A = this chain, B = another copy of it.
Amino acid sequence: MGIIKGRWSFPIIRALMNGTMRFKELERNVSSINTRMLVKELKEMEAEGLVIRKAYATVPPTVEYSLTEKGQALKPVIVEIEKWAEKFLQ
């Protein structure tokens, strides 16, 4: 399992659990990520089939990201991690 590798996939998935988000929204919501990393992670996650990218031909551009079923299915994992963290991290 090297699919949630990288420092950011986890927080990004967490953010998208709450539903579709635009690029800028993600950039604001995901802790202290920077543009380059967000772009990079999103591309990788798209390639892995975890997120879907929808672009709208508006001015200025609108791009929405959401989780695929495969991405949504990671929720139980995240829940368990959070349970663990709550119990063992002060």
A74 to B85, CA, bound (A): 10
Question: In whole angstroms, how far apart are the Cα atoms of A76 and B80 in the complex?
Answer: 6
A36 at the B interface (CB under 8 A): no
A56 to B78, CA, bound (A): 38
Residues of B with C-beta under 8 A to A80: 76-77, 79-80
- Asked whether A70 lies within 8 Å of B88 as measured between CB atoms, the reply is yes
Which A residues contact B (CB, under 8 angstroms)? 1-2, 5, 7, 10, 70, 73-74, 76-77, 79-81, 83-85, 87-88
Question: Given known contacts A1-B10, A73-B84, A74-B84, what 4 new A-B pairs fall within 8 Å (CB)?
Answer: A1-B85, A73-B87, A76-B83, A79-B80
